[in-house]
Amino acid sequence: MQAKEQNFLVSIGLEIHAQLKTQSKLFSPDRAGFNPGENQEIHPVSLALPGTLPVLNEEALKMAFKTGKAVQGCLKKKSVFSRKNYFYPDLPKGYQISQYDKPFCEGGFIQFFHKNQEISIALERIHIEEDAGRSLHKGNFSLINYNRAGTPLLEIVTKPVISDPYVASQCVKAIRRLLRYLEVCDGNLEEGSMRCDCNISVRPEGQKQLGAKVELKNINSFRFIEKALFYEKARQIECLKLGQALTQETRLYDSTKNQTKSMRSKESARDYRYFPDPDLPELDVSENFLNQLDLPELPFDKTQRFVKEYKFTPDLAQILVEDFKQADYFEQVVLQTKNPQALSLWFRGEIQAHLKEKNQRVCPIPVKDFARLLNLIDEGDISNTMAKDIFSEMWNQAKSPDQIIKEKNLKQISSDSKLKAFAQDVLNQNPKQVQDYKQGRSKLFGFFIGQVMKKTKGQANPQKLSHILKQLLEDC
Amino acid sequence: MEITDKVLKEISELAALKIKEEEKVELKFFLKEVLSYFEKIKSIESKKLPALVSPLKPPLCLRSDKVLDFPDKDKLLEQASKKQGALIKTPPSI
Amino acid sequence: MDFFSLCSLQKKLQSSEVSPKEVFDFYLKRIEKYNPCLNAFISWKKIPSFKKKGRLAGIPIGVKDLFCTKDLRTTAGSKGLEQYLPPYTATAVEKLEQEGAIIIGKCNNDEFGMGSTGEHSYFGASKNPWNEKHSPGGSSSGSASAVSARLCPASLGTDTGGSVRLPANYCHLVGLKPTYGRVSRYGMIAYASSLDQAGIFTHTVEDSALLLDVMSGFDSKDSTSLKTKPPYFQKNLSSEIKNKTLAYFDLEPFKNEMNPEIVSAYQKALKLLEQRGCCLIEKKIPFLDYGISAYYLISTSEASSNLSRYDGIRYGKQSLKSSQSLQEFYSLNRLDFFGKEVRRRILIGTFSLSSGYYEDYFHKACQVRYLIKQAFDEIFSSCEAIISPVSKNTAPLLNSKKTEGKNLSFYLNDIFTVFANLIGSPALSLPCSFSKDKLPIGLQLIGPALGEQKILNVALALEEDLNIFEKSPEKYK
């Protein structure tokens, strides 16, 4: 298998369309974003009524440039809005205002970890453009909803330097993570606030020129990105092996059948007649504007810092920093517990489970209370099992762990003498099992532990109990 | 500068303008005459010249990010020829 | 009731010598009497509201049907928009209304501003009140016809390549095109975005300055509108132009094409300016052979894109013919929507922007535009304003079979006016003389960008010296 695939090289590039989280649209003051309802968020400008003109949204401009700065792209002081001309019912003006030969950002890169390796994917460019409306296809007619028409989009294009479909989906994740950190996009693939197109081509090893590019449009989950790319890679390699030529085309991924189909549209033949939009002056930002673009700590930097400061593996660190608010919470708790490893387990376990169930973003338990809980575990005052129950209580009610322990009388029994007393009781009450144990039925050890737990209502410190029981049984 | 039937067809498709059969000859003549005249500008040496898109250079015009509901926005699509409920109806656009 | 100047009407209203209702009824009567013949108005108001106070309180003004007026039919002279009602009013018109002006009606025009005779309107051509067999010019044909026949004291037009100055020239009016960006384009149905400007038709220079004062200023809804605060044009009017240096265009290249009466009127005007103490220098029109090409390539290209929104889907007429595909749906709708001239220009523009031709046509035209601007900047570095004729001939005949298939020659007639739009300069046409057959002859003044005051002042001086602005066509006195 390996030998055959070594004959072909794969080049994958990504094209991400991210809806910017502005209040109003890119060139008009009606509401932007995902809004249910039909033709409610509209305005003469976004409907392209006669005589209307575009005016650029200041916040969209800032968000765009922030993103460009975050990927360390070359930010152009001067860039141009161009008209992309074509006819389609969800495009009211008959042209889309976009950026063509003079985008505001060129180059840059996306950094992330994959299998604990540092990966850097080079970007081609980033530009600003407006979104179209939505069409509902009903067989022999279509229905158009203009709510979305005019929403600001950021188009992020990578260079075709990815060769592994898994890396491709990680790259999309990394872009999403970055956009969420910058608070410029929700990054919701299912809802469509972020859309992903993939380009893939294969060529025989040794050939310098890239093969015919196939575009896979609008894949709306990370899993589907991987599956579609794997399918397409295999399909293209198969074609080349059979001596068939591959053509540049657009294909749709069918997730139910796990295959791609040719779109057979004339899209590649379209002449968009790009020209600079005369209604918008050349975009000319000041030095001051560029200097005032404040960036937070970016995901990749935070990941690296977590690796260094807390000694996590890069993959684990990357998971922990996925959401910056959660990462901040993490760090605040760690300051008070000094046990990052234990905390990371809680993070990936209990916290994620609760967040998902309650549909919340950050753990609502005050930092000091959670830290106290972890410290109590460390000191042996409560068991992990007990801690999980206390944790759930704390999530739902604003109580400190000490309060809950007191109320429910949950303190773990760790005193040697007390434990010895309980253990001795159990052994005295179960002489037959003691004898069986001594004759080799070592599995009965669990029975004794269980009995002590029963007597102590689960409060016995398990490690200590185990040690004491062993000792007692030996001495018997 | 020749305007063939093929060129005319391509332009009319790009412009989404059907051309009446009886107007074809006249149109081809018109396009040829006018475009040939415009070809005069080819003789100007312009390799390094900037292209003037707008006569004056106004400074950046930005709009603050506030939602402003258009009064009577329910009426904005009132004059659409074909609707279904609040949505606009068109031939199938796949 | 005999007012020529808007300013004198303004004074009479302010002193209550006449009431707004009297004024309105006076003009309404004239419209109802003469419009069937002149076809200057497509629609007009019968019941005005006199609510607002202001500098223009009670003054009726005609508005070219390219300006959106809320809940008033706005057709752009087109079949497709015949019944269209905009949900908002153009900023330029709003500014007039805020000062109390009454929009008395929507003036006829060449469809979407494309034409120079008025014959390309879906609603038929307007007539020139000086001689009804002749065109009033275009594309603001109705606006000029209306003011010239005194159906309203002033009107608004739009000027993309001369569409205000040319009709003013043919109708014995002052026609002003301000600096690009001086007046907001929001609500002005676009023909060519980088060339369009709102324009003003009046009988006198002072009237023009007054309306310019009201309409100028930055509009946050138009990204291309100038942020520079306009000066007070009316207040700063002065015919004291002694020692100003003025350039005038050499007419040698046109010696066989120009109507000799226009040439002599031109020369007479130059002499008057000399007598005023101006220093006159002769200049050749820069890039004479390329101006028209650059203008038409840029304007049709921009128009081909600006008019893409007219598909009959969200507003406007939808063709009743059934279509097999989406492409056919669009093509049939748009064929029905637009008249011949508009379709011709869309095709040229589409060609000019298309792959393989963009470099040599549209892009090249923009580079030529740069050269033209440089050349004019050079001229303006040594003079206040430039003087030229407005056209080679007086108003052409209407419905002349001679105009069939002569598109190129019509386009070439715009040679004097297109430059001001290409470079964004203010320019005006003012009444200068009459031909033997009593057709008006005008004169053009072009100023540097933001130089409206300069050309208004020179115009005022000439107006004083020529003293012919009160002349009126016999039938419409």
Q: Is A169 within 8 Å of A222 (Cβ atoms)?
A: yes
Interface contact A88, partner B, CB < 8 A: yes
Please report whether residue B82 resides in a domain. Answer: no
Given this model, what pLDDT does residue B47 score? Answer: 84
Please give the tally of structural domains in chain B. Answer: 1
Residues of A in contact with C349 (CB under 8 A): none
Last residue of a domain, one of A408, A424, A450: A408
Distances (CA, A) of C109 to A432, C143, C390, C415: 112, 8, 19, 21
Distances (CA, A) of A80 to A67, A100, B47, C291: 18, 8, 20, 25
Domains and CATH numbers, chain C: 6-245+378-476 (3.90.1300.10)
Interface contact B68, partner C, CB < 8 A: no
A42 and B86 in contact by Cβ < 8 A? no
Cα–Cα distance between C137 and C164 in angstroms, integer?
9
For helices C340-353 and B24-38, angle between their N-to-C axes, nearest 10 degrees: 50
Domain check: are A374 and A434 in the same one? no
Report the phi/psi class of residue C346: left, alpha or beta, with left for phi > 0 and alpha for psi in -120 to 50: alpha
Position C229 pLDDT exceeds 60: yes
Last residue of a domain, one of A228, A262, A291: A291
Chosen from B12, B30, B38, B72 to mutate, greatest number of chain C CBs within 10 A = B38
Please report whether residue B54 resides in a domain. Answer: no
Domain check: are A31 and A166 in the same one? yes
Mean pLDDT over residues C149-171, rounded? 97
Enumerate residues 30 to 89 of chain B having a beta carbon within 8 A of any beta carbon in chain A. Answer: 51, 53-54, 57-70, 73, 76-77, 84-89
C87 and B76 in contact by Cβ < 8 A? yes
- Give me the percent of chain A exceeding a pLDDT of 90: 65
Interface contact A279, partner B, CB < 8 A: no
Q: Is A50 within 8 Å of C86 (Cβ atoms)?
A: yes
Cα–Cα distance between A232 and C346 in angstroms, integer?
42
Domain check: are A282 and A176 in the same one? yes
Domain check: are A345 and A378 in the same one? yes
Residues of A in contact with C189 (CB under 8 A): 50-51
- For residue C222, the distance in angstroms to the closest alpha carbon of chain A comes to 6
Q: Could you read off the pLDDT tens digit of each residue along chain A, which spans 476 residues?
A: 444 445 899 999 999 999 999 999 999 999 998 778 999 999 999 999 999 999 999 999 999 999 999 999 999 999 999 999 999 999 999 999 999 999 999 999 999 999 999 999 999 999 999 999 999 999 889 999 999 999 999 999 999 999 999 999 999 999 999 999 999 999 999 889 999 999 999 999 888 899 999 999 889 999 999 999 999 999 999 999 888 888 888 999 998 999 999 886 555 568 999 999 999 999 999 999 999 999 999 999 999 999 999 999 999 999 999 999 999 999 999 999 888 998 999 999 999 999 999 889 999 999 999 999 998 888 877 878 888 889 998 999 888 988 888 887 777 777 888 888 888 888 889 899 888 988 888 888 899 899 888 888 788 888 888 898 888 888 87
Interface contact B32, partner C, CB < 8 A: no
B26 and C405 in contact by Cβ < 8 A? yes
C193 and A278 in contact by Cβ < 8 A? yes
Domain check: are A267 and A310 in the same one? no
ipTM: 0.96
Chains touching A (3+ CB pairs < 8 Å):
B, C
Domain check: are A19 and A127 in the same one? yes
Domain check: are A18 and A97 in the same one? yes
- For residue B39, the distance in angstroms to the closest alpha carbon of chain A comes to 19
Domain span at residue B12 reads: 1-42
Please report whether residue B19 resides in a domain. Answer: yes
Given this model, what pLDDT does residue A267 score? Answer: 53
Domain check: are A253 and A400 in the same one? no
Give the residue, A186 or C470, on which the prediction is more confident: A186
- For residue B36, the distance in angstroms to the closest alpha carbon of chain A comes to 21
Domain check: are A161 and A261 in the same one? yes
Domain span at residue A447 reads: 416-475
Is C163 a known active-site residue? Answer: yes
Given this model, what pLDDT does residue C405 score? Answer: 65
Cross-chain CB nearest to A29 (options B14, B66, B84):
B66
Please report whether residue B94 resides in a domain. Answer: no
Domain check: are A387 and A431 in the same one? no
Domain check: are A385 and A459 in the same one? no
Please give the tally of structural domains in chain A. Answer: 3
Q: What are phi and psi of A200, to 5 degrees?
A: -140, 140
- For residue C178, the distance in angstroms to the closest alpha carbon of chain B comes to 13
How do residues C74-116 score in pLDDT, each as one tens digit? Answer: 999 999 999 999 999 999 999 999 999 999 999 999 999 999 9
Please report whether residue B8 resides in a domain. Answer: yes
Given this model, what pLDDT does residue C476 score? Answer: 86
pTM: 0.92
Residue of chain B nearest C329, judged by CA positions: B91
Interface contact C446, partner B, CB < 8 A: no
Residues of C in contact with B18 (CB under 8 A): 328, 331-332, 334-335
Interface contact C364, partner B, CB < 8 A: yes
Q: What value does the mean pLDDT of chain C take?
A: 95
Interface contact B14, partner C, CB < 8 A: yes
Chosen from A130, A138, A141 to mutate, greatest number of chain B CBs within 10 A = A141
C309 and A54 in contact by Cβ < 8 A? no
> B27: pLDDT confidence band, cut at 50, 70 and 90?
very high
Residues of A in contact with B84 (CB under 8 A): 143
Given this model, what pLDDT does residue A2 score? Answer: 44
Please report whether residue B3 resides in a domain. Answer: yes
C350 and A144 in contact by Cβ < 8 A? no
Domain check: are A271 and A389 in the same one? no
How do residues C299-327 score in pLDDT, each as one tens digit? Answer: 999 999 999 999 999 999 998 888 778 99
Interface contact C319, partner B, CB < 8 A: no
Residues of B in contact with A276 (CB under 8 A): 51, 53
Active-site residue, selected from the candidate residues C5, C45, C64, C425: C64
Interface contact C354, partner B, CB < 8 A: yes
Residue of chain B nearest C301, judged by CA positions: B15
Residue of chain C nearest A50, judged by CA positions: C189
Given this model, what pLDDT does residue A1 score? Answer: 41
The CATH code of the domain that includes A449 is 1.10.10.410
Q: Find all residues with CB under 8 Å of C321, minimum gap 6, and list them.
A: C332, C336
Is C64 a known active-site residue? Answer: yes
Chains touching C (3+ CB pairs < 8 Å):
A, B
Cross-chain CB nearest to B52 (options C227, C370, C405):
C370
Q: Is A319 within 8 Å of A312 (Cβ atoms)?
A: no
Please report whether residue B32 resides in a domain. Answer: yes
Cα–Cα distance between C66 and C140 in angstroms, integer?
9
Interface contact C320, partner B, CB < 8 A: no
Cα–Cα distance between A399 and B58 in angstroms, integer?
60
